[in-house]
């Protein structure tokens, strides 16, 4: 029987036939968590962030080669090829993205140094830094049924990069697809043992065994999320709980748009796509369609015309553009919500089994047609702002002016994403700034960006995914931000030299080692954080200023007009700031070929004091941090990035300029 010793039966969404069953009976959940903490955690923490990121890159390549099998299994969920692409290849793409983000934005260390040094004393003998280290627990990911691959991959990627092993609990109805991918991940051997575990079926007493070092993420209904978040152990131990819940997302057609405008067609197309993609089973789907009173009928006509052409049935049929919901249970829930909405809204199309179903094997158990409702007075009823039909269902509602559109959007009490379709920039600004507090992401769509826009319902790895209020109050993705969710931020106080030893990053005031060998003559491995070169000196002349002005074309008055310069904040003619740093490069650069392959960046430049004619400058160049890089196939030499702290001082030992120089330095080893 379902839910008993045989486990919970799972059915094919198109044919209704039983395909498998799942059960977690006999699993010791305390041991599952301990295994992750004691085996997976130490193995991940022994790796640097770049090594973890490269493991994800290799894993993404591995899974991509086996995508056809995942597509085959995904068809059981009723997904079309396009739906599966988002889930499977979109999920794998997230691994690639986080691998790239981590190697670009983080050091090649097991931890992260965040922000600059905080000077805490007058003589700079007492200072502070912020570091982020991996939590010593596991990340438990409780996922929804609608994206069994992407929903898992977008969460485990930042967790593994952070150095925290993951335990994945997919929704039962589509767990077989998640299981197929996890089985392949484990078989690949590309992740350390214990880095990833899967639980299919019930969770039993799993939450009772979580500790303060664990992290829980949840995606699903707001009701279930609230229940889990209120678990006594989660509250008692203050366990981080990140919730991303389904929300009543809106799409607003600007008042400035008229039928016939490109933006009108974009709006209709975007709404129809979001209603039917994944059969509307997306937490980001458009549920509320906001248009002016004048636009209402043209929009209804256009939407009905477009939605009526959507072929519903077995995705295996070439003409089908929308498949079923996951199962009969989901269909019953959607229909019940539609009936609730219809009590206060007008049902314009759909909402019944009276539609053509394509495909000989398709049974109506899980199929539901595109359904459009109209709420004539959306301020008079709460129904369309509180009842969500998690399927191909949306409600159109009119507004009077942009201010009313903002108020209607806010009635959803927090959304993952909202859209504004308009070419009027001022209108877009008014609506976005008015609604941003209620949304985790806002899309402004017009003819200029439509061709390359990723659309309303597409969370991206580098952008925040989450939202306030009903949307769960959590945050996922967002690039580097997502990795930091699984790490502990700690402020460390001490002498600059102690902080350098901890962070492996030089800061002002720390001990340095003056080097006899020019640092540009050293390979990457030979350079040490704190190695310093103090250069010879150069006196700035009027000829320097004149020549640089002629070469650069910069004839700003402070450099050339003696009388005007006296009245300026400088009080005299001064050298160009860019001449000063160019002259400094001449002081510290070793011109001969050597291990330094290229200078490819300058960051954090600040001009502190003016440099005038007769002033003498000197450069102090210190190894600030080192980032080892993997050797690419097209590169002749293995190399690493060395960040140099450059300080330019004058004859009074006053700092006149500060900046970082980034160089690519050859490594001795491959």
CATH number of domain containing 80: 3.40.605.10
Residues 193-221: what's their mean pLDDT?
Answer: 93
Residue 348 lies in a domain: yes
Q: Is 570 within 8 Å of 642 (Cβ atoms)? A: no
For the chain, what is the domain count? 3
105 and 21 in a common domain:
yes
Phi, psi at 657, each rounded to 5°: -155, 150
| pLDDT tens digits, one per residue of 418-460 | 999 999 999 999 999 999 999 999 999 999 999 989 989 888 8
Q: Do 278 and 410 lie in a common domain? A: yes
Does one domain contain both 195 and 308? no
Q: Where are the beta strands (DSSP E) in 311-414?
A: 346-349, 371-374, 393-399
What CA–CA distance (Å, rounded) separates 143 from 138?
16
Contact 325, 391 (CB under 8 A): yes
- What separation in angstroms does the CA of 438 have from each of 267, 328, 472, 482? 21, 33, 11, 21
Q: Which of 442, 459, 476 corresponds to the end of one domain?
A: 459
Strands 371-374 and 393-399: parallel
| CB within 8 Å of 337: residues ≥ 6 apart | 387, 388, 389, 390, 393
Q: How confident is the model at residue 1 (pLDDT cuts 50, 70, 90)?
A: very low
Look up the CATH number of the domain holding residue 310. 3.40.309.10
Question: Tokens in use for 119?
Answer: 């000077």
Q: Which of 200, 250, 251, 283 is catalytic?
A: 283
172-181, 293-302, 338-347, 562-571: segment of lowest average pLDDT: 562-571
In a domain, 69, yes or no: yes
Residue for token pair 């997306």: 282
For 59-74, what is the mean pLDDT? 95
Which domain does 96 fall in, by range? 8-110+134-236
Neighbours of 143 (CB within 10 A): 25
Residue 483 domain flag: no
Provide the token pair at 313: 């049935």
C-alpha to C-alpha distance for 137 and 215, rounded to whole angstroms: 7
Contact 439, 417 (CB under 8 A): yes
Query: Three-class SS string for 74-115?
Result: HHHHCCCHHHHHHHHHHHHHHHHHHHHHHHHHCCCCCCEEEE
Same domain, 305 and 448: yes
- Give the dihedral of Cα atoms 473, 479, 485, 488; nearest 10 deg: -150
Q: How far apart are CA 296 and CA 293, in angstroms?
A: 5
- Contact predicate 544/583, CB 8 Å: yes
250 is catalytic: no
**Binning pLDDT at 50, 70 and 90, where does residue 629 land?**
confident
116 within a domain of the structure (yes/no): no
Which position among 109, 154, 179, 244 bears the catalytic label?
244
pLDDT value for 262:
94
Residue 670 has a CB neighbour count (10 Å cut-off) of 7
Q: Is residue 493 part of a domain?
A: no
Boundary-marking domain end, from 210, 236, 262: 236
At 478, the pLDDT band (50, 70, 90 cuts) reads confident
**Boundary-marking domain end, from 179, 211, 236:** 236
Active site residue 514: no
Please give the pLDDT value at position 633. 77
Residues 89 and 141 in one domain: yes
Q: 651 and 586 in one domain? A: yes
Q: Check: CB of residue 38 under 8 Å from CB of residue 217.
A: no
pTM: 0.88
CA 487 from centre of chain? 16
Separation between Cα atoms, residue 193 and residue 189, nearest integer Å: 8
Q: Give dist(CA 528, CA 665) in Å, integer.
A: 13
Q: Whose CA is closest to 351, among 375, 363, 334, 329?
A: 334
Alpha carbons within 13 A on the beta-carbon side of 145: 22
pLDDT tens, 327-346?
999 999 999 999 999 999 99
Q: Residue 566 sits in a domain of what CATH number? A: 3.10.129.10
Neighbours of 274 (CB within 10 A): 26
Alpha carbon distances (Å) from 625 to 311, 642, 662: 58, 6, 10
> Is residue 262 situated within a structural domain?
yes
Q: In terms of Cα–Cα distance, which of 291, 338, 308, 24 is closest to 168? A: 24
Instruction: Flag whether 127 is in a domain.
Output: no
167-189 in b/e form (b: 16+ CB < 10 A) is bbbbbbbbbbbbbbbbebbeeee
Judge whether 491 lies within some domain: no
Task: Verify that 43 and 157 share a domain, yes or no.
Answer: yes
Percent of the chain at pLDDT above 70? 99
Same domain, 103 and 223: yes
The owner of tokens 């052409």 is 309
Report d(CA 351, CA 66) in Å as an integer. Answer: 39
State whether 405 and 542 are in the same domain. no
* Same domain flag for 285 and 173: no
Please indicate, yes or no, whether residues 200 and 272 belong to a single structural domain of this protein: no
Q: What is the pLDDT of residues 281-326, one digit of tens each?
A: 999 999 999 999 999 999 999 999 999 999 999 998 989 999 999 9
**Whether residue 261 is found in the same domain as residue 374:** yes
């Amino acid at each position: 029987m379902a839910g008993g010793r045989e486990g919970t039966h799972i059915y094919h969404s198109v044919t209704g036939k039983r395909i498998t069953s799942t059960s977690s009976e006999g699993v010791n959940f305390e041991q599952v968590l301990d295994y992750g903490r004691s085996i997976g955690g130490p193995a991940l923490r022994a790796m640097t962030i770049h090594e973890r990121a490269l493991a994800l890159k290799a894993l993404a390549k591995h899974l991509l080669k086996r995508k056809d099998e995942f597509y085959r299994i995904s068809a059981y969920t009723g997904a079309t090829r396009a739906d599966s692409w988002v889930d499977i290849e979109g999920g794998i793409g997230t691994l690639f993205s986080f691998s790239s983000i981590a190697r670009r934005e983080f050091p090649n260390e097991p931890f992260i140094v965040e922000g600059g040094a905080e000077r805490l004393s007058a003589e700079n003998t007492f200072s502070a830094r912020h570091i982020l280290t991996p939590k010593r627990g596991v990340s438990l990911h409780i996922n929804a049924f609608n994206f069994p691959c992407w929903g898992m991959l977008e969460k485990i990627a930042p967790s593994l990069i952070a150095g925290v092993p993951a335990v994945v609990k997919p929704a039962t109805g589509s767990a077989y697809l998640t299981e197929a991918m996890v089985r392949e991940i484990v078989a690949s051997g590309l992740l350390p043992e214990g880095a990833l575990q899967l639980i299919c079926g019930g969770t039993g007493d799993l939450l009772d065994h979580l500790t303060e070092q664990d992290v829980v993420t949840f995606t699903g209904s707001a009701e279930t999320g609230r229940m889990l978040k209120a678990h006594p152990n989660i509250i008692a131990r203050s366990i981080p709980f990140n919730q991303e819940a389904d929300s009543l997302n809106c799409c607003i057609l600007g008042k400035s748009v008229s039928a016939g405008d490109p933006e009108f067609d974009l709006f209709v197309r975007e709404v129809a796509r979001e209603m039917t993609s994944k059969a509307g089973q997306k937490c980001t789907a458009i549920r509320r369609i906001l248009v002016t009173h004048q636009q209402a009928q043209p929009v209804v006509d256009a939407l009905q015309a477009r939605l009526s052409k959507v072929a519903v049935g077995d995705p295996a049929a070439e003409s089908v553009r929308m498949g079923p919901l996951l199962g009969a249970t989901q269909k019953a829930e959607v229909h019940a919500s539609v009936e609730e909405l219809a009590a206060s809204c007008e049902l314009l199309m759909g909402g019944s089994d009276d539609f053509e179903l394509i495909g000989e094997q398709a049974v109506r158990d899980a199929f539901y047609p595109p359904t459009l409702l109209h709420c004539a007075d959306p301020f008079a009823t709460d129904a369309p702002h509180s009842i969500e039909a998690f399927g191909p269902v949306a409600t159109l509602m009119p507004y009077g002016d942009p201010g009313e559109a903002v108020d209607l959007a806010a009635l959803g009490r927090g959304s993952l994403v909202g859209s504004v379709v308009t070419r009027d920039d001022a209108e877009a600004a008014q609506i976005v700034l008015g609604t941003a507090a209620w949304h985790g992401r806002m899309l402004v769509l017009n003819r200029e960006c439509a061709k390359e826009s990723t659309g309303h319902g597409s969370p991206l790895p580098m952008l925040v995914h989450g939202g306030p209020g009903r949307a769960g109050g959590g945050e996922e993705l967002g690039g580097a931000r997502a990795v930091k969710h699984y790490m502990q931020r700690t402020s460390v106080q001490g002498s600059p030299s102690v902080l350098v030893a901890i962070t492996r990053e030089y800061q002002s005031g720390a001990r340095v080692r003056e080097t006899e060998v020019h640092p540009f003559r050293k390979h990457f491995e030979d350079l040490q954080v704190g190695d310093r070169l103090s250069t010879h000196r150069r006196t700035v002349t009027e000829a320097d200023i004149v020549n640089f002005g002629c070469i650069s074309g910069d004839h700003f008055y402070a450099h050339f007009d003696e009388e005007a310069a006296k009245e300026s904040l400088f009080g005299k003619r001064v050298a160009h700031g860019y001449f000063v740093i160019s002259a400094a490069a001449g002081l510290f650069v070793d011109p001969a070929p050597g291990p330094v392959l290229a200078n490819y960046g300058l960051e954090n430049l600040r001009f502190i004091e003016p440099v005038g004619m007769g002033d003498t400058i000197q450069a102090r160049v210190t190894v600030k941090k080192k980032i080892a890089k993997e050797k690419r196939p097209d590169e002749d030499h293995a190399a690493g990035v060395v960040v140099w702290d450059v300080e330019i001082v004058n004859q009074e030992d006053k700092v006149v300029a500060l900046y970082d120089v980034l160089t690519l330095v050859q490594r001795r080893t491959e």
